[in-house]
Structure 1
Amino acid sequence: MSMYRKRRSAAIASGLGLALALAACSGPPGSEEGAGAAGGGEAAEGCEDYQQFIEMGDLDGTEVEVYTTITGDEAEAQEASYEEYERCTGSEISYEASDEFEAQIAVRIQSGSAPDIAYIPQPGLLQRLVNDFPDAIQPASEEVSEKVDEFFTEEWREYGTVNGELYGSPLGANAKSFVWYSPAMFEEAGYEIPQTWDDLIALSDQIVADHPDTKPWCAGIASGDATGWPATDWLEDVVLRTAGTEVYDQWFAHEIPFNDPQIVSALEATGEILRNPDYVNGGLGDVSSIANTAWDAGGFPILEGQCWMHRAANFYGVNWQQVREDVEIGEDGDVFAFYLPSASEEKPLLGGGEFVVSFEDRPEVNAFHTYLASDVWANDKAEVSNAGWVSANSGLDPELLQSPIDRLSNELLASDEYTFRFDASDLMPGPVGAGSFWEGMTNWLSNPSATEDEVLTFIEGSWPE
């Protein structure tokens, strides 16, 4: 049991302790009995971790409206993560999630009905909102900025920054630079985890030679109207590993053309795996089968011994139970994942996440925003989350995360040893990142005559003026 869990359990486990804490937090508004009474009041029993937020103002009886894209089971966990904060501060969090968030947030800002706080799913959208509505989003407060500096790497701070000003603090995160595999299959065959890109290709060749009835790789990119996005992740990861982070940054910002020779070379390197009939598509078909195989089923042949490796994010872990409910994820389990190695000494890490922004500067809004940027919230969230959720917050206790792959993700995301880069397609203009890029990569896999230069030139031609 982690120290954080022990501390929480000691505070609220016994009925007497819980009753005392509830009573102490339930004094009338403005009284000194509740934890959220006058700012600076003493924290109630079990609320010591929240004292720093209580001191930020008179929070008792206040309400903070949150607007987000996070729906479903994860929304339930999100709301549950605020319960201790609400209990201890007396501030109520009103949660609203929408699948139409990206369109509606601009409408709400224009109509004067912006929420108090919003969770922005991409840095590109954050930049557009700040630039389109320069007076709507509040720059991050000093308290929020201090938490970001304390718990997140410089790369994460930079993604929340627009025009040199910090606006968004990181919330949840994901890590995409993983290769899923069967530890038992590797051990039986005597294979080691590859440490470089050349090692990865050599391993693939060795599997071809040793196991002609299987394939080294399996993949799927079908996702309804979003078909192609897993293939864009593949290219993004390879651009980072072959061309480097500087070129990657120039590429998504269109400071170099989409079909720059370095990007062409990266797609050719991607094709060494995904378009190689000796390498793919284990248990699923030939190269063209990748385009019509559902993305969430792309790795399943590993469980049948028909394929050895599948590149996918940490959140892919929740899909294995679709095949067998008893699938164990871990270094000694049925499946686990290793870091996708690089062709250089740089250790790039591709991923994504949400950013918290404030539209109001009221004390209760600032206090809640500061809480969300802190280690306290990260640990609150980890305790109630499902497998697949992780944060780049370095103060998160990894023992609280629900899966070994989530713990590994947090380790990499929070480490200065790895250079984080946000998913490029989420940073590009919508018609490209969620349009021609998806389409071009799908055509590249389904049409064997399409060359890398042709595909990338098609995408380049779609870039808005």
Structure 2
Amino acid sequence: MRRPRGRTLGAVALCLAVVAALGVVVARAVADGGSVTLLANWSGADETLFRTAVIQPFEKEEHIHVLYQGSSAESQVLDGDAEAGAPPDVAVLPGPGELAAYAHEGQIQPLDGLFDAKDFNAPWTAKVDGPAGAGAHYYWLPIKTDLKSAVWYPKGTSDAQLAAAAADPGSWCLGMVSGATSGWPATDWIEDILLQQAGPGAYQQWATGTLPWTDPRVERAWRTWGAMVGAGKDTYVRPALTRAYGAVSRTAVNGRAACTLEHQASFIRADKGWRTSAQHTGSDAQFKHSTDFVPGPHTTQDAWEVSGDLAAMFHDTPQAEKLIRYLARDDVQARWSLAQSAFSADHQVKQSVYATDAVTLAAARALDATGTVRCYDASDAMPAAMRDAFQLAALRYLADPSTLAHQLTTLDAVRRRKHAVWLPDVCSKDGG
């Protein structure tokens, strides 16, 4: 092998020096305002999307470097980091119940003054108590929201076909696997059935810890769900317990598959399973309110279960404050919610933003319609221990419905534990 000449070595060294110098210049250009650590649950393609739509514009504008960590088990990661005394500066979680506990412990900082809470609809914004003597403050900022209480089906399906499918457990697209949070598609169903059958008042009592799990209305919701999806029947249960939630709708396009109905949040309409081709830019999914499918008495068709992603600040640094202020801006809210096929709780974001297709606009209008009662996803609003126990119990019930009485008694014992932090409210009407 011929040795490179001295001139070649010199050129290579010069190139390396230039690249290194440029790297330093770029790093300084981005981070001369310092850095901020951020934890959220977006990884893979979602992380790339978040970096492109949110992080990179923030870094360019504020010259603050964002040290981002994405994890599908973020609750466990955050709990471990907080226990070790090293939480991130900012974390994004779906659970206000979990954040309320951090607020009570004095681990997250009030956001009063960093955004105008009047610009955001409830139940995504709410004051909660901090440590003893600290009073009530705003401790989280909603950065995106989703509509639940929806059943999705292929475009063009007739009402008669929908009715027949709803009565067939095999028609429901059901997948329980979601890593550390497996079981949440089941809890979503049970929560929504209780909301529609028993109404927002009973739902709020249950979600805030004052209605026992053994209450007949709660039990009825469980049994209704079990009958709808074929709980205890191996034909339906085995696939559901071994299939990822995100994969179930990918065979439902145009009714060509065994499952044609999916009870899921509004983000599912963007899943490639509801699209006929890579070139198709719209959604082949339509949705109806779940009351059209849930049997039993219904108190209202104006109650929707909702969810969201909430940003909280663990360290009150100038960089963290700038990130919160940035995330609260209506242009950033609109950009990120659209990128996530979601919505913003900021009523300054006009509905025209969601006029990308008829289905998206219909979901946006449902979220903000006059008379609408919005109730936060109950398991997300509950204390973390209650949420985790609920998810596990739902999986056990799906496998063996004869255990229901035991599951509900066990869950009620968790509800009665001392020192758990429960939210005072989870439902709101119209924007209040």
User: For the structure 1 residues 71 and 112, does the alpha-carbon distance in structure 2 shift closer, same or farther, using more than 3 Å as the test?
Assistant: same
Cα distance in 1 for partners of 2:408, 2:349 equals: 40
Does 1:245 find its partner at 2:195? Answer: no
What aligned pairs does 1:8-407 form with structure 2 within 5 A after superposition?
61-80=33-52, 81-99=54-72, 101-109=74-82, 113-132=86-105, 134=106, 136-144=107-115, 146=116, 148-150=117-119, 152-158=120-126, 164-186=136-158, 204=163, 217-223=171-177, 226-275=181-230, 285=235, 290-292=240-242, 294-299=244-249, 300-301=251-252, 303-304=255-256, 306-321=258-273, 325-326=277-278, 334-341=284-291, 343-345=298-300, 347-382=302-337, 385=339, 388-396=341-349, 405-407=359-361
Change in CA separation of 1:181 and 1:67 when aligned onto 2, cut-off 3 Å: closer
In the alignment, is the contact (CA less than 8 A) between 1:346 and 1:419 conserved in 2?
no
Deviation at 1:139, TM superposition (A): 1.0
Distance 1:100 1:215 in 2: 30
Contact 2:41–2:71 (CA under 8 A) maintained in structure 1: yes
* Aligned residue identity for 2:123: E
Residue identity opposite 1:391 in structure 2: S
Count how many residue pairs are aligned between Structure 1 and Structure 2.
377
Change in Cα spacing, 1:415 to 1:116, as seen in structure 2 (3 Å) is farther
Partner AA of 1:354 in structure 2: D
CA displacement 1:147-173 (0-9 Å, x = unmatched): x311x2121112777563111111122
Distance 1:207 1:380, change over 3 A: closer
Distance in 2 (alpha carbons) for counterparts of 1:313 and 1:164: 31
Report if the CA contact (8 A) 1:161-1:167 is conserved.
no
Moved over 6 A (4+): none
The amino acid across from 2:163 in the alignment is S
Name 1:46's counterpart in structure 2.
none
Once the two structures are aligned, what percentage of the paired residues are identical? 21
Higher RCO (C-alpha 8 Å, min separation 6): 2
* 1:169 maps to amino acid: L
What residue is the counterpart of 2:399 in the other structure? 446
Deviation, 1:389, is: 4.1
Specify the SS of the correspondent of 1:165.
strand
Q: Please state how far the C-alpha of 1:82 moved relative to its aligned partner.
A: 3.6
The runs of 5 or more residues in structure 2 that have no matched partner are 1-24, 293-297, 418-432
In 1: Cα distance, 2:230 partner to 2:414 partner: 24
- 1:426-464 deviation per Cα after TM superposition (whole angstroms, max 9, x unaligned): 2334444223x234323333335x175454234334556
**What is the rounded CA distance, in whole Å, between the counterparts of 1:123 and 1:142 in structure 2?**
20
Please report the TM-score for the alignment, with normalisation by the length of structure 2: 0.72
1:353 and 1:405 mapped to 2: Cα distance? 19
Shift in Å, 1:298: 3.8
1:336-381 deviations in whole A, cap 9, x for unaligned?
Answer: 2223238223622223222122234444432321221220211332
3-state secondary structure, aligned to 2:157? helix
Residue pair 2:176, 2:182 contacting (<8 A) in 1 also = yes
Corresponding residue for residue 412 of structure 1: 366
- Counterpart contact for 1:160–1:170, Cα < 8 Å: no
- SS at 1:140's partner residue? coil
TM-score in terms of structure 1 length: 0.67
1:4-52 superposed Cα distances (whole Å, 9 cap, x missing partner): xxxxxxxxxxxxxxxxxxxxxx9xx9xxxx9x9xxxxxxxxxxxxxxxx
CA contact (8 A) 1:69 1:98 kept: yes
Q: What letter is aligned with 2:38?
A: V
Give me the whole-angstrom Cα distance separating, in 2, the residues matched to 1:415 and 1:395: 15
User: How far 1:123 moved relative to its partner?
Assistant: 0.8
Backbone CA RMSD of aligned residues = 3.9
Q: Partners of 2:86 and 2:189 in 1: how far apart?
A: 39
C-alpha deviation, 1:325, in angstroms: 3.7
Conserved in 2, the CA contact under 8 Å of 1:235 and 1:270? yes
Q: Residue 67 of structure 2 aligns to which amino acid in structure 1?
A: S
Amino acid of the structure 1 residue aligned with 2:216: P
The CA distance in 2 between the partners of 1:60 and 1:224, in whole Å, is 39
Q: CA deviation at 1:205?
A: 5.7
Query: How many Å separate the matches in 2 of 1:352 and 1:323?
Result: 24
Q: In the TM superposition, what is the alpha-carbon distance from 1:270 to its structure 2 partner?
A: 2.8
State the distance in 2 between where 1:123 and 1:243 align. Answer: 23
Write the distance in 2 (CA, Å) between the matches of 1:337 and 1:263: 25
Structure 2 distance, partners of 1:425, 1:296, is 19
| Counterpart-to-counterpart distance in 1, 2:93 and 2:182 | 23
Q: 1:426-445 counterparts in 2 under 5 A?
A: 426-435=380-389, 437-445=390-398
Distance 2:243 2:61 in 1: 48
**8 Å Cα contact 2:267/2:341 also seen in 1:** yes
Q: Give the 3-state SS of the residue equivalent to 1:220 in structure 2.
A: coil
Deviation at 1:73, TM superposition (A): 1.9
CA distance in 1, matches of 2:319, 2:165: 59
